[in-house]
C-alpha cells in the first residue's frame, strides 16, 4: 500500500513537471526574428558616422577628413596645475579603492 502511494506520487510529479516545463513556452534561447545577425552587420558598408567631438552625423568623406585632421593636429596641452589636480584625483580614487575606510 505504501509503495503504491510513493509510486503514484512519483508518476504524478513527473507528469506535472514535464507538462509545466513545456506548456506555452517558445524557444527562449534564440534571438527575435527581426534581429539582424552579426555576420550580416559585419559585411555592411557604413556610409554614415558620428563625429567623435560633438556627436553630429557626418558622411563617410567628412568623417575621413575629420579623422585625418585629428591625427595630424596635436591634442591641446593642459595647464600644469590642472594636470597635477587630475593626477591627485586619480591617486585619491586608487587609494580609496585599496583603503575604502579612509575618507579623504
pLDDT digits (tens, 9 = 90+) for 50-102: 888 888 888 888 888 888 888 887 767 888 899 999 999 999 999 998 888 87
| Residues of the domain holding 95 | 78-104
Domain contains 14: no
Q: What is the pLDDT of residue 89?
A: 94
- Is the per-residue pLDDT at 27 higher than 60? no
Whether pTM > 0.75 for this model: the answer is no
Residues 41, 57: one domain? yes
* 63 lies in some domain: yes
Asked whether residue 25 carries a pLDDT value surpassing 70, the answer given is no
Question: Do residues 69 and 41 share a domain?
Answer: yes
| Tally of CA atoms within 13 A in the half-sphere of 22 that contains its CB | 5
Kindly state whether residue 20 falls inside one of the protein's structural domains: no
Q: Region 31-53: what's the mean pLDDT?
A: 80
Number of domains in the chain: 2
Residues 56 and 83 in one domain: no
| Between 42 and 85, the higher pLDDT residue | 85
| CA distance readout (Å), 104 to 89, 91, 97 | 11, 11, 12
Task: Inform me whether the pLDDT recorded for 43 exceeds 90.
Answer: no
Q: Are residues 69 and 84 in the same domain?
A: no
* Contact present, 52 and 63 (Cβ < 8 Å): no
- Is residue 23 included in any domain, yes or no? no
Counting DSSP H helices and E strands in the chain, the numbers are 4, 2
* Cell numbers given for 27: 524557444
Residue 56, in any domain of the structure: yes
Does residue 49 sit in the same domain as residue 69?
A: yes
Amino acid at each position: 500500500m505504501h509503495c503504491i502511494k510513493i509510486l503514484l506520487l512519483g508518476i504524478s510529479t513527473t507528469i506535472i513537471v514535464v507538462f509545466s516545463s513545456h506548456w506555452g513556452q517558445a524557444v527562449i534561447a534564440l534571438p527575435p526574428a527581426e534581429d539582424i545577425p552579426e555576420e550580416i552587420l559585419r559585411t555592411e558598408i557604413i556610409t554614415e558616422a558620428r563625429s567623435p567631438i560633438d556627436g553630429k552625423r557626418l558622411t563617410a568623406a567628412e568623417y575621413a577628413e575629420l579623422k585625418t585632421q585629428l591625427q595630424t593636429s596635436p591634442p591641446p596641452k593642459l595647464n600644469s596645475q590642472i594636470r597635477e589636480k587630475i593626477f591627485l584625483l586619480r591617486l585619491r580614487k586608487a587609494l580609496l579603492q585599496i583603503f575604502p575606510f579612509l575618507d579623504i
